[in-house]
Every structure is written in C-alpha cells, then in structure tokens.
Amino acid sequence: MKVKIFNDEVNLRDHHCQFFDNDLIPVDGPSTNLYIRTKFCNAKCKFCTFSRDASLYNEEKYIQALTEISSKVRIKKIAFSGGEPTLNFKKFKRMVEIAKKIIPNSEYSVNTDGLRLQKLYDDEIFDYFDFICLSRHHFDDMLNNEVFGFNSPSTDLLREIQNNSRRNILHFSCNLIKGYVDNKDKIYQYLEFANSLQVNSVGLVSLMPVNDYSKENFIDFNIKDLINERFNLTKEWKYKNMCKCNNYVYLPENLRNPIRVYHKNTYNPFDIQDSIVFDGENVKLGFSGKTIF
C-alpha cells in the first residue's frame, strides 16, 4: 500500500501477518508502527548495534515528523527505544509528552534496560504507557548483569516496584543467548521467575543476525518443543520471509496467573522497512532503511 509521506512514496503493509497457514488478509487502511529512538546507552550488550548511532534530538523536526505521519496514516503503536531512552530522562519525558499531545490514541510502550525504572514508575508520564518493556536476559541477577555490563534492576527491586505499582504493565523481553537462557529448562525457570514477580507477559527473542556475536550465539531452537499440558500454542504469525512469531499461554507451577508468551525470530531485519523510525534527527523506513525526512 503506497502512501505519500514527506513527498516520498512509502510502501506500507497491504496484508496482515499470515495467521498459521491461512490466506493473507488485506489491511483495511494505511497504518504503521512508529519507533522513536534516542542516542547512547549505559549498557554494553554485545548483540546490540544501536547504542551509539542515533542522531541528536531535533525537537522541531520531531514535531514536524509526528504531525506529518499521523496526518497520512494511522499510527497503531508508538515505541520509545534507544540506546536507552531514559538515559536523559528530561528529554525522554518531553518527547513522550509531545507525542501524546499530537497522537493521543496510539498504544504507547517504552523499551528499557531498567536504568531509571523506579523514576519512570514514579513520574506522571507512567500513566501514558500501555506497556513498559524491560529487557531482562536471565533470571539470575548476576548473569543478567553480565549480559548488560552494568547492574540492572535487581529481583528485589523489581518485586518492590511490582508490589507498589498502581498498574501491572511490566513486560519482560528475554534474548535467547548461548550460555544464558538457551534451553527448555532455563526457559521454564525464566517463566517461573517472571510469575514470582507477577509479570504476566514475556517475550522470548532470538538474536537478529546483525553482527558476529549475534550470529555465533544464536539459539537454533524450535520453541514448539516446549509445548506440553502447561505450555500451549495459541497463534503463529509469519511475515513474508522476514520474521515469524509464535504466541503461547504458559500455566505456572502454582497454576495461577497465566503468562502470555511470544517468541520472535527475525531472519532479515534489514529488509523490514514498512515501519517508520524517527532517530532524533531523521525519519527512516525501518531502522536501517531509506531516509524520507
């Protein structure tokens, strides 16, 4: 589906992701997800290539971008990411407030390593978000910190935040990495860990082939092998030959608070250019695609 944005013909999705092996269903109008990136990161994750390459923040262009894009297409989701978006909390808060004013009815999420998680929960902009997606790559605090290269929020702090939060919107995103969460038993342990913290939404993400570390530590693992009486497949989605997602419901050992689980495997990340990214200075198609503004 072609839409003119900033005088460029942009190809947006004309079909939804394929559900199991069913026929493709056309979209009912132009829509997209908008990713807003910030510069730099406190972590040193070896699988990440987006920690230092985002542009500096240009508020005037940001407002122009949000206004133009939202006038042409329906923005289903606005996701703030980085680097680490909360590194400069004042700037991050300003960006969220501007977006919410211009595009009030989208789904809002933030992807964070937890650097300023408590501050985010204490701030008024917490109520703007539908999901807070915390990168958490192991159930053991020490091993999780080893992945990040800094002391991320501890289990005790996460428990305290969850117990005191007025809304349970915390989502865990766990990269499957050799030597960390990389087999059935560790995935079950991770899900039980999430359940112990009252986190009922977990993403298991295969590393994207963006650098040598990611390729060498990729887990060639069929998550369907996990399926049993407490781990049930509910959905399977495919998008061309670029990515595949499976959705599950996991019933913890205490049989309370079922957990929504998804597994995402992106095969060709550089070919995905039907989402729109504002990197602080420019509007791009995908994270590494053509600049249109």
- Residue spans of the domains in the chain: they are 31-285
CB 176 within 8 A of CB 207: yes
The parts of the chain modelled with pLDDT lower than 50 are none
Mapped onto helix, strand or coil, the DSSP state of residue 108 is strand
- Cβ neighbour number for residue 108 with a 10 Å cutoff: 20
> Rounded to an integer, what distance in angstroms lies between the CA atom of residue 34 and that of residue 77?
6
| Domain 31-285 falls under CATH 3.20.20.70 | yes
Nearest C-alpha neighbor of 111 from the set 174, 165, 177, 159: 174
Angle (CA) 116-79-55 rounded to 5° is 80
Element housing 159 (H / E): helix 155-164
pLDDT in tens, 125-146: 999 999 999 999 999 999 999 9
pLDDT at 269: 56
pLDDT at 285: 85
pLDDT at 24: 66
pLDDT in tens, 188-245: 999 999 999 999 999 999 998 889 999 999 987 777 778 888 889 888 877 776 677 8
Q: Enumerate residues 6+ apart whose C-beta is below 8 A from 229.
A: none
Half-sphere exposure (CA, 13 Å, Cβ side) for 119? 12
Would you state the structure tokens that stand for residue 32, as one six-digit string?
């997209």
pTM of this prediction exceeds 0.75: yes
Mapped onto helix, strand or coil, the DSSP state of residue 33 is strand
